[in-house]
Amino acid sequence: MTDQNLEIQRIDSSLYNADLAPIPRHKRSWGWFEIFNVWSNDIQSLFGYTLAASLFLNYGLNGWAVMAAIILAGFVVMLLVNLSGAPSVRYGIPFPVMARLSMGVFGANFPAMIRAIVAIFWYGVQTYFASTALALLINSLFGISGGAQFLGLTFVGWLSFVLVWIFQIMLFWRGIEQIRRFLNWAGPFVYVVMIVLAIIIWVQAGDALLPAIDTIFSGTGSYAGGSVAAFIAITGTMIAYFAAVVINYGDFSRFVRSEKEMKLGNFLGLPLNVAFFSLIALIVTAGTVVLFGEQLVNPTDIVERVDYLPLTIIAAITFFAATVGINLVANFVPPAYDLANLIPSKIDFRMGGLITAIVAFFIGGLWVAIISQIGIAGFVNTLGAILAPVYGVMMTDYYLIKKQRIDIQALFSSAPGSAYYYRKGWNHKAVVAFGVAAIFSIAAVWVPALAALSGYAWLLGAFLGALFYYLLMKGDSTQSVR
């Protein structure tokens, strides 16, 4: 496909702005390394480390089986994003524009807004977590601790939160190229620090480390349902962790020079990266048992126990960089595009990001005192279950119904009779497939009898969305792009 094919000749101001327009190949600067760092920053956040370490401890499964489950999840996610990223590499369009292909030029606003809500919520929460790393740094350097609290945060806590909030806006405001540079710096830097931490723990633990690792690898078989159920649960948990990025992966793959580089970055950044980082987490966690007599899975707790100021400073900067990195990748860029898609003539990429930051400020500020006390698992899982069928609908439409052909001009046209106008801008067959599939995926979250499927609510919703949409659209030749 040539760059000329991506040029928009007929502009509908209600559907178009420069940020949503296709990116010609000669203007793309991302390669496999940038994609690798998208995933590196994702898993290397504070929550990502804690998740990886806890998988070895909480399921009573042999350590080799845990590694196999983690690697399997990495391959599954890799296949999912290879599918969702390919059309954006080919046509240079972001997720909300891609959604118009199957949902309709106006119907695409619905999944885009749900994705934006989820991302804005997590953006506020992750901003708070990133601020804890900065607070750790300030407290360590100046010996500050305690103090009066407001909404659960001390003065240092609020100062750190505001500084992180402002830093992220400044980085975002400088554009996607600056975000790329930040990710390229943060990804390798975090790896270096984590390897150094593992070496320090290993040296201090000495000969007792390997027996501690062997104990974790032996497993206890205590997970309800047995080893098979534990293996499935671990795989599902890791897939669910990455699911938020899967659907809007086109927001990043549109900047990649070729599909080959995207796939290489996905391979290095998912199954291999996840496995290696999980192994580091295992070594460090086993070392904490030897050194401190308990299993510590929170990196900040480990650094505080080591009590070595240079390491504390470096680790605080590292955790800050990694958490900000994933926040930009998963929770800032997506809603910026999604909000721009809502009213393209009035909201561009920067304005969408600013709206995201303002709303997220209140979510993050209220996290400790209010939101975390309510419980968010059901809320977030429900939103994920609602959104999951959209992935199945979009991929089935592109690969099986449209046969990987897109009329770029029609994606930006609201003229009745245009390829993606359907009925008043909505594809009602897609809406029906989405609605029926969402009922099942939401039930997996909330119905006690289906509790065993709760970890697979996203995959269930995506599969059923694909199945129902294919059955409704099969044989409808009017929907193909000539």
Residue keyed to tokens 């499964």: 61
Instruction: Check residues 20 and 466 and name the one with the higher pLDDT.
Output: 466
Q: Which of 10-24, 108-122, 248-262, 307-321 has the highest mean pLDDT?
A: 248-262
Return the structure tokens found at 86.
């390919």
Q: What is the mean pLDDT of residues 73-85?
A: 95
pLDDT in tens, 281-299: 888 878 887 887 777 777 7
Question: What b-and-e string marks burial along 310-326, b requiring 16 or more CB atoms within 10 Å of the CB?
Answer: ebbebbbbbbbbbbbbb
Amino acid at 400: L
Structure confidence at residue 264 as a pLDDT band (50, 70, 90): very high
- Please give the pLDDT value at position 478: 47
CB 330 within 8 A of CB 81: no
Amino acid at 109: N
| CA–CA gap between residue 48 and residue 59 (Å, rounded) | 17
Among 138-152, 354-368, 420-434, 441-455, name the one with the lowest average pLDDT.
138-152
Inform me whether the pLDDT recorded for 451 exceeds 90: no
Segment 136-141 long-range contacts (CB within 8 Å, at least 24 positions apart)? 136/300, 136/303, 136/304, 136/312, 136/316, 136/319, 137/312, 137/313, 137/316, 137/317, 137/320, 140/309, 140/312, 140/313, 140/316, 141/313
Closest CA to 102 of 479, 463, 482: 479
Average pLDDT for the chain: 83
- Please give the pLDDT value at position 136: 81
Q: Which of 31-35, 57-61, 222-226 has the highest mean pLDDT?
A: 31-35
Q: Are strands 153-154 and 149-150 parallel, antiparallel or unpaired?
A: antiparallel
- Please give the pLDDT value at position 37: 87
CB 190 within 8 A of CB 44: yes
Structure confidence at residue 224 as a pLDDT band (50, 70, 90): low
- Please give the pLDDT value at position 142: 80
| CA–CA gap between residue 44 and residue 194 (Å, rounded) | 9
Return the structure tokens found at 331.
């929770």
CB 20 within 8 A of CB 93: yes
Strand segments, DSSP code E, in 250-336 are: none
pLDDT in tens, 321-343: 877 877 887 788 888 888 888 88
Question: What b-and-e string marks burial along 200-219, b requiring 16 or more CB atoms within 10 Å of the CB?
Answer: ebbeebeeebeebbeebbeb
Instruction: Check residues 216 and 346 and name the one with the higher pLDDT.
Output: 346
Region at 411 (left for phi over 0; alpha for psi -120 to 50; beta for the rest): alpha
| CA–CA gap between residue 213 and residue 196 (Å, rounded) | 18
Residues 6+ away with beta carbon under 8 Å from 301: none
Q: What share of the chain is helix, strand, coil (3-state, %, to 5)?
A: 75, 0, 20
Q: What is the mean pLDDT of residues 386-404?
A: 93
pLDDT in tens, 185-220: 877 877 787 788 788 888 888 888 888 877 777 766
Share of residues in the chain with pLDDT > 90 (%):
28
Inform me whether the pLDDT recorded for 377 exceeds 70: no
Q: What is the mean pLDDT of residues 157-182?
A: 87
Domains and CATH numbers, the chain: 27-373 (1.10.4160.10), 375-482 (no CATH)
Share of residues in the chain with pLDDT > 70 (%):
89
| CA–CA gap between residue 429 and residue 102 (Å, rounded) | 9
- Give the phi and the psi of residue 153 in degrees, each rounded to 5: -120, 140
Inform me whether the pLDDT recorded for 138 exceeds 80: yes
Inform me whether the pLDDT recorded for 381 exceeds 80: no
pLDDT in tens, 436-450: 999 998 898 888 888
CB 177 within 8 A of CB 256: no
Structure confidence at residue 54 as a pLDDT band (50, 70, 90): confident
- Please give the pLDDT value at position 163: 93
3-state DSSP call for residue 54? helix
CB atoms within 10 A of CB 478: 6
Q: Which of 86-90, 231-235, 409-413 has the highest mean pLDDT?
A: 86-90
Q: What is the mean pLDDT of residues 211-231?
A: 72
CB 166 within 8 A of CB 364: no
CB 263 within 8 A of CB 77: no
- Please give the pLDDT value at position 225: 66
- Please give the pLDDT value at position 422: 92
